[in-house]
Structures are given as structure tokens and as C-alpha cells.
Amino acid sequence: MSGYFKELFSGTKSLAVGLGITFRYMVKPVVTLQYPHESLQMTPRFRGHIELIPNEETGEPNCVVCGMCQKACPSNCISLAGEKVDGVKGKVLTKYILNFTTCSLCGMCVESCKFNAITFSKEYNLAGPSREAYVFDLKKRLEDKKQ
Ligand code: SF4
Ligand code: SF4
């Protein structure tokens, strides 16, 4: 009979402890997100793939097609092109491709740009079915963002 009461006591105690933990966490602030409906706010120093910075007034890329980022990249991830346009000083960016499959996020491209034209994005949840999905047309991405 004493074994029965011992078991009853131990079961009740364990239930009380379990419920205590449950109630404690019920009133604590939530630390999880309803992904993918909610996204994390990345820290200022987070490095996602690079992206073009638009001009505040025109919305066009700040890039002047100097090619310094392309030269600085140790992994040959960047290929870009520009053209002369009547009435515009310097060149206008026509293509900026990033091959993210070989990018090490070293930051040499961002550091080498003297025109505030590229930065690290806050992109953290990339997914794709093939390597080609990670070759990004950054100019198109910037245009898509505007819409
Ligand atoms: S270094 Fe800057 S301005 Fe020059 S091509 Fe690269 S992104 Fe454009
Ligand atoms: S972060 Fe480094 S590896 Fe990636 S594109 Fe820039 S320079 Fe190249």
C-alpha cells in the first residue's frame, strides 16, 4: 500500500513541476517567429550577398562602372558592364552580375567601392533548386525592389 502512495505522490509532484514550467514559459516573452510569415531583423553587421545601392534622388544605381569591385574580388564573382549615354557624365551601369556560388563574403568589393554603390544585403533565407539560382542580376534586383 505504501508503494501505491509513493507512486501517487511522485506522479503528482512530477505533474506539478511540469505544469509549473509550462505556466512559467506561457507568461515569458515569445522568442520564436512564425517563419516564413515573419522574418528576422538582421543585425547591422550581418553580411548577406552584396547588393547595389540606389541613388536617393533618382533611384538609379550609384555605380559609376569603375570596375574596382570586380578587380578586388579574389573569387571572380563579379561581372559588370556599362555604356556611354548622351548627356550623362561617365558611364551608366547596364549589367551587374554576382556569382554567389563562389562568393566568400570577404567584403573586398564593398571596401574597394569609393562611390557608396554596393553593400551587404540582409538576405538570409536564400533557397534554390540549382547553382544557377545563385547567379544574381543585381541591377534587375534593384529594379524589382523599386516596384
Ligand atoms: S567599385 Fe563601386 S562604383 Fe566601381 S564598379 Fe564597383 S560598385 Fe560600381
Ligand atoms: S564579398 Fe568577396 S568574394 Fe564576394 S563578391 Fe565581394 S569581393 Fe567577391
Q: What is the CATH number of the domain that holds 98?
A: 3.30.70.3270
Residue nearest to atom 2 of ligand 2 (CA): 106
Q: What is the DSSP letter of 49?
A: S
Which of 69, 46, 53, 58 is closest to 122 using CA atoms?
46
Residues 69 and 112 in one domain: yes
The yes-or-no verdict on residue 21 having pLDDT over 80 is yes
User: Is residue 1 predicted with pLDDT exceeding 70?
Assistant: no
Atom of ligand 2 nearest to the CA of 106: 2
- Do 104 and 61 share a structural domain? yes
pLDDT at 63: 97
The protein residue with its alpha carbon nearest to ligand 2, atom 4, reads: 103
- Residues of the chain with pLDDT > 90, as a percent, come to 84
Please give the average per-residue pLDDT across 41-49, as a whole number.
94
Contact indicator for 98, 138 with CB cutoff of 8 Å:
yes
Cell 534593384 -> residue: 142
Count of domains forming the chain: 2
The answer to whether the CB of 93 falls within 8 A of the CB of 82 is yes
Radius of gyration (C-alpha) of the chain in whole angstroms: 26
- Model pTM score: 0.80
Residue 44 included in any domain: no
- Looking at the structure, tell me whether residues 93 and 21 fall in a common domain: no
Domain that holds residue 106: 50-146
134 and 65, same structural domain?
A: yes
Q: Using one digit for the tens of pLDDT, what is the confidence trace for 50-63? A: 999 999 999 999 99
Query: Which of the four pLDDT bands, split at 50, 70 and 90, describes residue 3?
Result: confident
Q: Which amino acid residue places its CA nearest to atom 7 of ligand 2?
A: 73
* Least distant ligand from the CA of 61: 1
Q: Give the ligand 1 atom nearest the CA of 78.
A: 6
Helices (H) and strands (E) in the chain, counts: 4, 5
Q: Greatest CA span in the chain, whole angstroms?
A: 99
Residue 127 lies in a domain: yes
Ligand 1, closest atom to CA 64? 3
The C-alpha cell at 147 is: 516596384
Average of per-residue pLDDT across 64-76: 97
89 shares a domain with 24: no
**Residue to substitute in 52, 60, 66 for testing ligand 1 pocket (most ligand atoms within 8 angstroms of CB):** 66
